Amino acid sequence: MSHSSSRWFVATALVFGVTLSGCGGSGGGAPSTVATPAAATSAATTSTTTAPVSSQAATTAAGSCPTGATVGAALGISLPDPVSVAGGGGASLPAGATGVACEYKGTSLNVIIELIKNIDPSSISLFSSKYPVPYASVSGVGDQARSFSQALGGGKDNEGVVATKGSNLVAIIATDTPASLAQIEALVNQLL
């Protein structure tokens, strides 16, 4: 996977995560399908040129985003403070759920954290089904967790972890960073 296509994956995952509008009704039942354009999904794994993640609509991060210093220390990298990314097209989370997506964009790296409260734990499948490679189940992180890792070369990876604990969900995708899955898992546990 090229560097630019890995960024496209991060952008697709971010938009996917913050546009969980199809994730169920007001009763909090099992999620239904999420409206993610097929072109965006296939482009996440095949495109070699895309718009940079920085072209995503963003606003100053809400108070619920961890600071860049906190996330950077956990991942062993230097990160700026985050911006919270606006949901695509005004879509919202399922009724009763609240959340924020935080982007930490470095010169060549990108970390995205999604924090969602009051969501059905089965929503973990919506996140892990969009990973660019098959996921692995992770023990010791929340009530349930899944991860992926994909080498980008030069000691950098595209990695992600999504976990639930009760009705809280935390998803982290780190692209082009030297952070290990163990570091990402520890941060997910801290944020749950």
Q: Which residue has the higher pLDDT, 190 or 84?
A: 190
Confidence band of 91 (pLDDT split at 50, 70, 90): low
On whether the CB atoms of residues 187 and 173 are closer than 8 A, the answer is no
Phi/psi of residue 144, nearest 5 degrees: -155, 145
**Other C-beta atoms lying within 10 Å of the C-beta of residue 129:** 13
What pLDDT, on a 0 to 100 scale, did the predictor assign at position 52? 32
| pLDDT (tens digit per residue) in 6-44 | 443 444 344 344 433 333 333 333 222 222 222 222 223
Q: Which residue has the higher pLDDT, 95 or 114?
A: 114
Residue recorded with tokens 């920085």? 54
Confidence band of 114 (pLDDT split at 50, 70, 90): very high
Beta-bridged to residue 146, according to DSSP, are 137, 162
Q: Which residue has the higher pLDDT, 123 or 84?
A: 123
Give CA angle at 160 (156, 165), nearest 5°: 150
Predicted TM-score (pTM) of the model is 0.69
Confidence band of 184 (pLDDT split at 50, 70, 90): very high
Say how far residue 164 (Cα) sits from the centre of its chain.
13
User: Above 60 in pLDDT, residue 149?
Assistant: yes
Give CA angle at 51 (110, 181), nearest 5°: 25
